[in-house]
Structure 1
Amino acid sequence: MHLQGLLFLPLALPIVHAGFKATRPSCRCFPGEPCWPTVQQWSDFNATLGGKLISTVPIGSVCHTSGAFAAYDAQGCADLLDNWAYPTTHYESSSSPMASWFANFSCDPFLPHRSCEIGSLQPYAVNVSGPEDVQATLRFTRKHNIRLVIRNTGHDYLGKSTAPGAVALWMHNLKDTQHLQYTSPSYNGSALRLGAGIQGYEAMAAAHAHNKVVVSGNCESVGVAGGYSQAGGHGQLASQFGLGADQVLEWEVVTADGKLRRASPTENSDLHWAITGGGGGTYAVVLSATVKAHAELITSSANLTFSGTDVDPAVFWEVVQTFIVDIQPLVDAGAVAIWAVAGSSFMLTPIAFPGGSLQQLQAGLASTLALLDQHNITYTYHIEQFDTFWDSYAAMNPHSNITEAQIGGRLMPRSVIDSKIPALISVLQGIADEGVVISGVSLNVSRAATPRNAVNPVWRDAAISFVLGT
């Protein structure tokens, strides 16, 4: 969700003024056109960057025997296919998207009979190590009228970090972290400065080293300062401390004019407001984000799975409804529940209650467990209290792999849970019956004071974030 094109793309519609003719919009220069830079110009650009320009070779090339990029290797192909579902395969690449259809089957390793071409992938990427690389790339792409995209970890299910004929700013290797005491009119306390390439597991480890926690995603490989925080960002600490965007104290960015700027509530405040929730890569290229670091806290967590295969569907959905409604007091007290329904299977993976005791969590789940027992539904259940959130996350959070699903989402307001739950359950059942996987995150991101930012206000009243996948 992370890495998006800048705002200075050509205007899509002609502008008409009185007394003037409408002007036609110009297209970006594309490979094969006369305007495309020569080999020497690309070489000179690479020299300017100190050798940081990467010429894209699709990672699927090892599975192909024909096409411009074919480089068949039987063992390499077997290894790639075995590891395709793991995020590492894609975020260690400067070009491979985790949502593979945005590559439009360009050199797809599962289609070896097709020609291996670069297709929808960007032909070049810049391995950014500092602001000067961003500035040089902005100058080059502007001079040659080339499309520019921003790529961080590859966690992008809107296709904004992948573009044919583009140069990508690959932010993945900006891995610096710094713990500091931050003082401003709105916040005085512990903070972490995170390079744009820092991923969730790295941010949490850096915080844990100082007995702190930071808000990050449920998927440990998401880039924290990328589209995650820039667009909102929830996770197992979101009910306790707010969204990822709510944590950002300041951004270090390069804007479209090539200038290095700081953006905070007191410096370039309009830019800070826009970036903080307004969408990844839309307003500037983010080099780092300084985020709030909170004190570690005990965390209780539970996993639950059950199947409705052997019971009436009405019974299965009665249990799901009971779960959704009866955990709401836990959520309002700071818990976050990550759950899913696939067909007639229910998975809670996990519900995390930072600051809550095992007894509180058990009490909040008691009605769901009692209903399972009442209907003789077999289930797997584990509950545990941990000394730190770090320990809970490591023990109870399953590794998240990439998805080949086509996904869409909906933020469900609290009023639906309070007064329209039968209608919601009916809709969810109909969706599941169509073979769609339903992923839900039950949370309350408005327990903490809400800072002024561009986060969609619908988040503030959301009880469940739904993602649907086919």
Structure 2
Amino acid sequence: MYGFLIFLFSYLTSFNWQYITATPYQNCKLLPSSPQWPSIAQWQALNESTSGRLLAPSPLCTACHLPFNNVSCAAVGAQWANSSWHAENPWSADYNDNSCLPDSTASCSALGYPAYVVEAHGASDVQAALNFARRTGVRLIVKGTGHDFSSRSSGPGSLSIWTHHIRGVNVTRKDPRAMAYGGVASVEIAAGMQWKDVYATAISHNLTVVGGGDPNVGIGGWILGGGHSPVSSRYGMGADQVLEMEVVTADGEYRVVNETSHSDLFWALRGGGGSTYAVLLSVTVIAYERLPTIGYRFSYDTVADSDTFWSLAAYFHQQLSRLSDAGAMGYYYVVPAAPSSNNSSDNIGTISGFWLFPEKTLKEVGDIMSPMENYMLSSPPWAEDTITGDKKVVEWTDFLTEFSQNEPQTVGFDVRLGSWLLDETALSRPLETLKTQLRKSTPPPWELLGHLVAGKGVQNATVPGGSNAVSPHWRNAYSHVVIPRKLSFLDTAAKTAMTTSLRTEANPALMDLAPESGAYANEADPTISGNWQRIFFGNNYPRLLALKEKWDPEGVFWCKSCVGQELWEVVDGPDEEDRSEWGVGQIGGRICRK
């Protein structure tokens, strides 16, 4: 093993790091090119302290490059869009992972990956990695599954803690802590689990848990950032369900945090963001009884990218607060130019999605939906073109049993998300105002993904400990609106144009609808224009920053647009990248204390 590590160390340090070695900086996080980079003996000691679980990067797609192996390359290419496959790999990521692609015409290196990964199986492995990073000054990142749109689980030349092998789900019926907040049980979830694992256990116990919309999403970053769910409008955010956490803090100490133990840290960890205060080992959440639900699939179509389509989109958004207050929750797509389903070569403009109506009857759902649909489909005065509609209504005896069968999202591409939380003020804007701003935010060929997952359940959530660090913007919102932009691999000029347009044109169109609102940091642009502290954390930020300085005074944890980012600066990033991109994901740069 020692010889193997020496070889890998030489392999890593042979890469081209010249763009970050021009200037010596004091108080900077170390990179493999740094003179103070830990010695082979130090890395060997870390490997021994973690029972041989220190790993060095071996890019997944090397078979697609020299020496080329057609069979192995094809196998990798077939899995590249599979998030479960990426979760099982210690250094790859679901999104924006382009250091080594399954494409023989692209370059391949380990330069965008961590220098080393600790495959953590428990608290002692996490403690060893945290202590090593704190004592040496090596940058530290944390990966659970790699399902991270903002790429905080990536970091060139870092030491990564991979928590995917910290496993387990345990149910405690009639846990008095859960019953005090309206639950019937508690569920303890280890940090390496994905929601599909938790859902399977909950279903076997006839329970409902508040979890991610994608079954392959991991637990850690989701719940630390707040965590929205298809049933958040009923029970509150994921972070609102937390009764207790096991963590290792930046000082390397194992701690149990709850309402009475380290209550300030308990407050911050529930919504203050991942990779900021501690590494999560497990979380215990409230579980509820099975939830009978009406499922309502809908689509409304008209002429692509027409005035009628955008008026339809505006009117639809005007109805969202009423629908939410009446019990609707779920997801919708606004697609200005979608392929027609009737084999025509013409595109259509479509609004489609799926609502959940927990504990409603078919008649009650009809009474909620009919006024809106009857009006839209009866030639309203703003419609110059015909609008058609379709729906499918189903009765489910158990929401979670049906919802857990959804297929996970495809991954393996470069993407940047714009987003904004729309409150009742935004959704009550005049039709022409909404129409104009939505159109600016989502020109063809792009689409808008709406999450009707807030409303009364989030506004009125009863939170263990009285409050938590979930952004106050969520407490006022109804719809979390996301405007994704897929980017071309390895085309820096196109990426710069796209991200600049998103940052300066599309996202501001949504922001103008609700200037006092903000965005959900887990699904937002980490380079967003404006006061990112207020945008992502609202008036919680001063307290969060004070707790960051208390619990991580040395800045062991750092990530872009995370609490405490402004205490550091990124210098000597790649010239071809816009400076705002330095330090995001696999984009390099030296991180130095100001």
| TM bin (shorter chain) | 0.7 to 0.9
Q: What is the CA distance between 1:227 and its match in structure 2?
A: 1.5
Tell me, yes or no, if the aligned pair for 2:309 and 2:336 is still in contact at 8 Å: no
CA distance in 2, matches of 1:38, 1:343: 56
Taking the TM superposition and a 5 Å limit, the aligned residue runs for 1:110-259 are: 110=103, 112-180=104-172, 181-184=174-177, 187=181, 189-224=184-219, 226-259=220-253
CA distance in 2, matches of 1:418, 1:357: 28
Distance 1:324 1:294, change over 3 A: same
Which of residues 426, 442, 446 is equivalent to 1:416? Answer: 426
User: What CA deviation, in whole Å up to 9, does each residue of 1:211-258 have, x standing for no partner?
Assistant: 11111111111112x121111111211001000110111110011111
Q: Percent identity?
A: 31
> Structure 2 regions of 5+ residues with no counterpart?
1-24, 338-348, 380-384, 486-594
Tell me, yes or no, if the aligned pair for 1:153 and 1:223 is still in contact at 8 Å: yes
Tell me, yes or no, if the aligned pair for 2:315 and 2:431 is still in contact at 8 Å: no
User: What CA deviation, in whole Å up to 9, does each residue of 1:264-318 have, x standing for no partner?
Assistant: 11110000000011001211111000001011110111222344336x8232233
Is residue 350 of structure 2 the alignment partner of residue 358 of structure 1? no
User: What CA deviation, in whole Å up to 9, does each residue of 1:35-54 have, x standing for no partner?
Assistant: 33344443332222112122
Tell me, yes or no, if the aligned pair for 2:95 and 2:148 is still in contact at 8 Å: yes
Q: Residue 303 of structure 2: SS of its match in structure 1?
A: coil
Letter in 2 for 1:270: D
CA distance in 2, matches of 1:449, 1:279: 20
Residue 449 of structure 1 is matched in structure 2 by 462
CA distance in 2, matches of 1:333, 1:210: 29
Q: TM-score, normalised by structure 1?
A: 0.86
Letter in 1 for 2:253: K
Q: What is the CA distance between 1:446 and its match in structure 2?
A: 1.8
CA distance in 2, matches of 1:240, 1:325: 21
Taking the TM superposition and a 5 Å limit, the aligned residue runs for 1:9-408 are: 25-65=26-66, 72-100=68-96, 103=97, 105-110=98-103, 112-180=104-172, 181-184=174-177, 187=181, 189-224=184-219, 226-309=220-303, 313-344=306-337, 345-370=349-374, 371-372=376-377, 376-394=386-404, 397-402=406-411, 404-408=414-418
CA distance in 1, matches of 2:434, 2:388: 25
Residue 481 of structure 2 is matched in structure 1 by 466
Structure with higher RCO (Cα < 8 A, 6+ apart)? 2
Distance 1:206 1:373, change over 3 A: farther
User: What CA deviation, in whole Å up to 9, does each residue of 1:412-453 have, x standing for no partner?
Assistant: 111222344541232112222254321111231224335400
Letter in 1 for 2:409: S
Residue 561 of structure 2 is matched in structure 1 by none
Q: What is the CA distance between 1:351 and its match in structure 2?
A: 1.2
Tell me, yes or no, if the aligned pair for 2:240 and 2:461 is still in contact at 8 Å: no
CA distance in 2, matches of 1:364, 1:399: 30
Compute the RMSD of aligned alpha carbons.
2.3
Q: How many residues align?
A: 435
Letter in 1 for 2:37: W
Q: What is the CA distance between 1:78 and its match in structure 2?
A: 1.9
Q: What is the CA distance between 1:202 and its match in structure 2?
A: 1.3
Letter in 2 for 1:463: Y
CA distance in 2, matches of 1:354, 1:174: 33
Tell me, yes or no, if the aligned pair for 2:329 and 2:452 is still in contact at 8 Å: yes
Residue 531 of structure 2 is matched in structure 1 by none
CA distance in 1, matches of 2:73, 2:367: 50
Tell me, yes or no, if the aligned pair for 2:195 and 2:211 is still in contact at 8 Å: yes
CA distance in 2, matches of 1:378, 1:83: 38
Distance 1:359 1:53, change over 3 A: farther
CA distance in 2, matches of 1:204, 1:119: 37
CA distance in 1, matches of 2:82, 2:303: 30
Letter in 1 for 2:462: A
Q: Residue 405 of structure 1: SS of its match in structure 2?
A: strand
Letter in 2 for 1:409: S
Q: TM-score, normalised by structure 2?
A: 0.69
User: What CA deviation, in whole Å up to 9, does each residue of 1:2-36 have, x standing for no partner?
Assistant: xxxxxxxxxxxxxxxxxxxxxx7412222144433
Q: Residue 308 of structure 1: SS of its match in structure 2?
A: strand
Q: What is the CA distance between 1:380 and its match in structure 2?
A: 4.4
Tell me, yes or no, if the aligned pair for 1:255 and 1:283 is still in contact at 8 Å: yes
